[in-house]
Chain A
Amino acid sequence: MNIFAGCDVGSLTAKAVIMKNNRIIGSSIIKSKPRPKDSADAAFHEALSDAGVSEDEIKYCIGTGYGREKIEFVDEVVSEITCHGKGARWMLPTAETVIDIGGQDCKTMKIDKDGNVGRFSANDKCASGTGRFLEVMAKVLNVGIDELGRLSQKAKDPITLASTCTVWAQADVIKYINSGVPIEDIGAGINSAMAARVAILVNAVKPEGDIFMTGGVAKNVGVVSTLEKLIGKRIKRARKADPQIAGAIGAALLSMEKVNGKMAA
């Protein structure tokens, strides 16, 4: 049976994808648990049951994400940068530049027609420009992470955050809440601050061709639309799958290539 899996254990969420004949037959996204091994097990089993297949039927599985080395059931581990490149090209076959914003990392990469990564740049060890930044801010605003993105569309007079440091920005946001600024304007300011931070990395690799975005933050319309303005280019959407599972898709595709050779994509 030609069934392959990819498991992406991130710092905020763990994702698993089961693929057969180049199609997704099962997937999962769960909130990460304290131990990466537990996150991987839970995400993997949820995806297996979504696909209706058993673990024995999986021919090859690649693990990725920051917790990749702690996953016990995988055959191999590959960095998430490589996996996101692969997954992005599968989701948008014309993609040449990929922006991936994960829980604790933000990366921009150039990819070739097979989804192989060329030049890439990644953020420093600061949390600004990562999913964690948005999570912290959503908590302060007392809104869901999904809702935060939509606030931008309703904003009339977005605030400007004085600092992109997560800790300082949080203090700034609390100050705005206390002074009665509408939550939409604060949310929009947060999304813009995030986009500004990401734009620096995007410009560092000189984006070319179709740009695609992966990771959970790709679902935040506020960040995406501001980012488009800042880099002066459109970021393409793809409905083929949830951009948050792009890393796991890439891992599953690489599993397929590992066994079948490079014919998958």
Chain B
Amino acid sequence: MKIFNDAATQVQCESITQWKKEGKPVVGYTCSYAPAEIFYAADILPVRLRGIETEGMEVADTYFGPFICSFPKCILQLAGKGKFSFLDGAIITPGCDGMRRLDECWRKAGEDFDGIVPDYFYYFDVPHKSENHGMAWYIEEVKELIKSLENHFNVSITNEKLKTAIKVFNKGRRILKEIEDLRGKDDVVVSGTDVFAATVAGTVIPRDEYTKELKKWATALKKRKTSLSKEKKRVMLVGSVSDEIDLFQLIENTDKAIIVGENLCFGIRYQGNEISEDGDPLESLAAHYLGASVCPRMFGKYKERLKILKDRIDHTKAEGVIMQNIRFCDLHGAENALFERDLEAIGIPCLRVEREYGPHIDAGRMKLRINAFLERIDAKSDQKSTEPLSVSA
């Protein structure tokens, strides 16, 4: 677990340093739409960019302005402070408008801060629809990306290599799924904080090493007997992008709750699903990364996303859902309101909170709302055994 915690709480963890020592390139990416298998096939370490360790906002505020999500701002701040100096490349994806602007702002900041823009800096476009034309477009984009990586890093990314990469990644995906199944049991033996740290670590640690460690950890978890869920409320955490272990700790350190599931793009949402190992690897990647995407940036998929969330609530026996959105995150802010409406209507208590990202989080304010929410679930379960609520909740 230590290797996962280190990777989840440090911008440059030991695995990255070690990889660099071997003289191999590292490429950062900003969004779950960038297929990590492509980098693996090129022997490049893909590292998902994060905003933890941010201490101020002076660089980011200069280029971004105040009315924008603090997650891409934190990434730019870290870039401006040289925290991403280990990157040989960066790929920006339009996961949302804030992320798209990171491309422009980072380039612009690079004019003022020497050496903060990696030599390889690539904008990877992603369609908002996954119908046939969207899939074809995405495959074209992936082909372009492959060509560009091959040219810049002097590598060859063949279909065979991609197929191997998919198989390697699937191994980890299967183990994550097994761990996920443990969280649905009556007695949960693993904290949400630990599972999330292990999942975030998967976006940073070299895949072979990660799969090995994950397997070891999963084997140990399966032998665990001590229940961590007794006397605790089972909650799910959903909403805006988050790689913040502190946010999970904030909830679980109340000692009143265990996070039994999350629907976050750094979490199992993507990493838990297997990719087809048959047929054309590019089509398989597209089917997974674009076709199976449940991100609210995708057009016309709300019902599908709600169903996935409901299924996960059932699977994890969650008693309530905490929905957070980073301020100015319209995608999740709007979707959380819809989720709240539809889930409350079927009797699932929801808490909707707006917050800043990571180091800027207002812990006291969040804690009050979370405590009140857990007390609400408590009162509700007390009442279930006696009589129905007189007010529609």
Interface, chain A (partner B; CB < 8 A): 66, 78-82, 96, 105, 110-114, 116-122, 124-125, 208-209
Contacts and interface: CB of A to CB of B under 8 A. Distances in A.
A209 to B, nearest CB: 7
A82 B372 contact: yes
A175 to B, nearest CB: 23
Contacts of B379: 82, 112, 114, 116-117
14 contacts: A78-B371, A79-B368, A79-B371, A81-B372, A96-B391, A105-B365, A110-B393, A111-B391, A112-B391, A112-B393, A113-B391, A116-B380, A119-B344, A119-B350
B350 to A, nearest CB: 8
Contacts of B327: 124
B369 interface: yes
- The B contact surface, by secondary structure, is helix
Contact of A117 (B352, B364, B375): B375
Q: What are the 8 closest A-B residue pairs judged by CB atoms, nearest first?
A: A81-B372, A118-B393, A116-B379, A79-B372, A79-B371, A82-B375, A113-B390, A112-B389
Nearest to B356: A125
Nearest to B371: A79
Contacts of B368: 66, 79-81, 105, 122
Contacts of B365: 105, 125
B383 interface: yes
Interface in B32-80: none
A124 B356 CA distance: 10
A79 B380 CA distance: 16
Contact of A116 (B350, B354, B383): B383
A111 B372 CA distance: 13
Given A112-B391, A117-B372, 5 more contacts: A96-B390, A118-B391, A121-B352, A125-B365, A208-B392
Contacts of A112: 379, 383, 389-391, 393
B391 to A, nearest CB: 5
Contacts of A78: 371, 375
Contacts of B383: 112, 114, 116
A118 B372 contact: no
A92 to B, nearest CB: 14
Residue in A78, A111, A125 whose Cβ sees the most chain B Cβ within 10 Å: A125
A82 B376 contact: yes
Contacts of B393: 110, 112, 118-119
Contacts of A121: 352
Contacts of A117: 372, 375-376, 379
B376 A118 contact: yes
Contacts of B376: 82, 116-118, 120
Nearest to A77: B371
Nearest to B352: A121
Contacts of A124: 327, 354
Interface residues of B, number: 24
Residue in B344, B382, B383, B390 whose Cβ sees the most chain A Cβ within 10 Å: B390
Interface in B60-103: none
Residue in B344, B369, B372 whose Cβ sees the most chain A Cβ within 10 Å: B372
A126 B282 CA distance: 48
B120 to A, nearest CB: 39
B208 interface: no
A82 B382 CA distance: 14
A82 B368 CA distance: 10
Nearest to A209: B391
B16 to A, nearest CB: 34
B314 interface: no
Contacts of A81: 368-369, 372, 375
Interface string B352-393: 101000000010110011011001100110110000011111
Nearest to B386: A262
Contacts of B382: 116
Given A125-B362, A125-B365, A118 B389 contact: yes
Residue in A80, A110, A116, A121 whose Cβ sees the most chain B Cβ within 10 Å: A116
B360 to A, nearest CB: 10
Contacts of B372: 79-82, 117, 120
A118 B349 CA distance: 8
A117 B376 CA distance: 6
Residue in B344, B352, B376, B389 whose Cβ sees the most chain A Cβ within 10 Å: B376
Contacts of B371: 78-79
A6 to B, nearest CB: 15
Contacts of B392: 118, 208
A209 B380 CA distance: 20
A65 to B, nearest CB: 9
Contacts of A125: 362, 365
A153 B198 CA distance: 61
B68 to A, nearest CB: 16
Contacts of A66: 364, 368
Contacts of B352: 121
Nearest to B344: A119
Contacts of B362: 125
A124 B379 CA distance: 25
Contacts of A80: 368, 372
A162 B62 CA distance: 26
A122 B369 contact: yes
Nearest to B393: A118
Contacts of A96: 390-391
Contacts of A208: 391-392
A112 to B, nearest CB: 5
